């Protein structure tokens, strides 16, 4: 794993630990990671950055999603 890749992961983990959600673009997809109400983290991948009037990604652009039962780092690494 390159230093640049590790740095990106560390930054995203730090942001996720500070707030309820972290969003980022990777290649041509848009990622949203947030704490799940059932424990762990929910991870969603969207095909577009388009959001509704409340600031949420549009479900019609949802490509994939899932739950990561591990740490914030596990959730970010799972997606990258």
Each residue of 25-71: pLDDT tens digit? Answer: 999 999 999 999 888 999 999 999 999 999 999 999 999 999 999 99
Three-state SS at 19: coil
pLDDT at 39: 86
pLDDT at 73: 92
φ and ψ at residue 54, rounded to 5 degrees: -95, 0
Highest mean pLDDT among 11-15, 37-41, 74-78: 11-15
pLDDT at 32: 96
């Amino acid at each position: 794993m390159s230093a640049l890749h590790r740095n990106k992961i560390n930054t995203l983990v730090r942001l996720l630990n500070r707030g309820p959600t972290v969003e980022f673009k990777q290649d041509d997809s848009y990622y949203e990671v947030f704490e799940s109400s059932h424990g762990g983290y929910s991870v969603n991948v969207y095909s577009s950055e388009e959001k509704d009037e409340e600031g949420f990604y549009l479900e019609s652009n949802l490509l994939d999603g899932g739950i990561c039962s591990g740490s914030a780092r596990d959730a970010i690494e799972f997606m990258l």
